Every structure is written in C-alpha cells, then in structure tokens.
Structure 1
C-alpha cells in the first residue's frame, strides 16, 4: 500500500505533494526546477521509487469554462512522458489551486514574493487533499 504523489506542473517549477501511507493527509513535499521534461521525469521517477508511490495525480489547468488551454497541452505532453515509465496517472481539475495556495500561505503570515516554490507544492497538496477527501 503506497503513497500518492501529486504534481502541480509549471513551466518553471513543478510542485510536489505526498499523501501519508494511509492516504488520509496530503503534505507539501518539494519543488523541482523544470529545466526540461526529461530531467523532471527522471527526478520524479526517483521520488516514485524512494517514496513507494502507488500512483500519481496531476493537476490539469483547465479554463474557467472547463476547456483545455495551452498549459493543459503542456501538462498532457509531460504526463505522456511520465506514463511511459509505467506510472499510473490520474488527472484532477486544478483550477484555482495556485490562488488558494497563495491565500493559505498569506493567511499564515508568510510573504509569497520569494516563496513561489512554496506556493507550487502547497497547490499540489491542496488538490491532493481534495482527492483524498473525496475518496473517504
């Protein structure tokens, strides 16, 4: 019984979050600098092995009307590369996750100007927690 890894894919950074082994609580894990997809996929593959990941949830950045965007296409291209490593992937709507993460961080009294990586991994934790709560 492994953990779940959540991915908030961005052009510059990829935020990661992990569930606990019982799949009850999501926590921000780390942020990877997205120099290129091959580097990022290999880094995530190492995490999948190290953290005993059962499957991956990737946030899908849809438009407000629910349509694909240019960023959605980039996320799907990235996920295709990751799935070629025999990783089970589930997509989840991540509209508003970055804004909600930023609001959560500000509410804690943390300045967000130089904490973009914190926003990215917190966004991943938010949509992972949403997924976990729906599965209860």
Structure 2
C-alpha cells in the first residue's frame, strides 16, 4: 500500500493525546536517486532517524532485493520515500516526482510493508549542512543523510499530529 502525505486525513488524531501519536517500530527512509539510493532507519520508538547506507544503483530487481533485505535486518514496519515535488512544473511535464512515484509502484510489488511518500523539499540542503557538521568531504555522497532528513521530517510530523503513522 502506497500513501501520499497529501492523501492523509488527520481527523482521527483529534481523539488522542499527541504524546501517544508515535510510530511503533523501525521505519526505513529512502532518498531515491538516479545513481544512488540513500537509506536511513528510525529507532524502534519512532523518535529519531539515523543514516544507514548508500546503495549504488544496479538494477531495479537487485535494488529492491537489497532494500528489502536491509528492512528485514532492521525489523522495519514500513518505508518513507522522499517525493521531490516541483511546484513550478507544468501539468504535462514529466518530473522527478513522477519518476519516484513509478519506482515506488514497482517497489511496492516486492514488499508487504506500507510505503509513505513524503515531501523531500529542502532535504538536500539540510543534508549538506548535516554533512558539514559531520565533517564529511564536500564531494562525498549525502544520499544517506538526505534519507535521514526525510525520515526525521516524517517522524516529527507524526509526533506533532501532522501526519498519520504507517498502517
């Protein structure tokens, strides 16, 4: 099942104290790229994300197998995939978001875990800043950091009652 953040209805959250709205179990954050896929993982309480690894793209089949293997190793309960929304795109223009949506549709056929699409706006900027603080080389890949930023943004939104936990 693939859900988009824009599709989520938060009406059910009014019944519950915000402190109770947390993700139960680990999530895998995914920053989809043409050459690399960045992965991050949350802690089991769903409060904090940390970078995990960068997968160099090979084939969809191999990439999906590796992501699912990593998810199984971490007992993940779902995925959060960054969606690069382009507010300036023309309606008939094929965007990066379209590519990610298609990739997610194919990936969803390989897993029973829920997949949530999450706006990744400014995640690369935040990831570069995080890389500087971690003293990474300026030309080092930051895909895993971008996945961490995406996943942390989602976890924070769930905790604040602005997004639904995965179902």
Of the three residues 47, 58, 61, the one matched with 1:38 is 61
Structure 1 residue 50 displacement after superposition: 1.3
Counterpart position of 2:10: none
Instruction: Select the residue among 148, 154, 162 that pairs with 1:131.
Output: 154
Question: Which structure 2 residues correspond to residues 47-58 of structure 1 after superposition, within 5 A?
Answer: 47-58=70-81
Q: Matched residue of 2:113: which SS? A: coil
TM-superposed deviation, 1:25: 0.6
TM-score (norm 1): 0.88
Q: 1:22 aligns with which of 45, 51, 54?
A: 45
Please list every run of 5 or more consecutive structure 1 residues that lacks an aligned counterpart in the other structure: none
Matches of 1:12 and 1:2, distance apart in 2 = 29
Partner of 1:120: 143
Secondary structure in structure 2 of the residue aligned to 1:135? helix
Shift of 1:93: 0.4
Match of 1:91 in 2: 117
User: Quick one: distance in 2 between partners of 1:62 and 1:51?
Assistant: 29
1:90 shift after superposition: 0.4
Q: Does 1:73 align with 2:103?
A: no
Q: Select the structure of larger CA radius of gyration.
A: 2
TM-score normalized by the length of structure 2? 0.73
Given that residues 80 and 118 in structure 2 are in contact (C-alpha distance below 8 angstroms), is that contact kept between their aligned partners in structure 1?
Answer: yes
Note if contact 2:32-2:100 (Cα within 8 Å) is conserved in structure 1: yes
Unaligned runs of 5+ in 2: 1-23, 160-167
- Structure 1 position 59 matched with structure 2 position 85: no
Deviations 1:77-127 (CA, angstroms, capped at 9, x unpaired): 2111221122210010002111211122124433221x11xx110011111
CA distance in 2, matches of 1:13, 1:45: 16
2:146 partner SS: helix
Which whole-Å CA distance do the structure 1 matches of 2:130 and 2:74 have between them?
A: 26
Maintained 8 Å contact 2:89/2:95 = no
1:130 Cα deviation after fit: 1.1
Superposed CA RMSD: 1.8
Contact 1:61 1:95 in 2 (8 A): yes
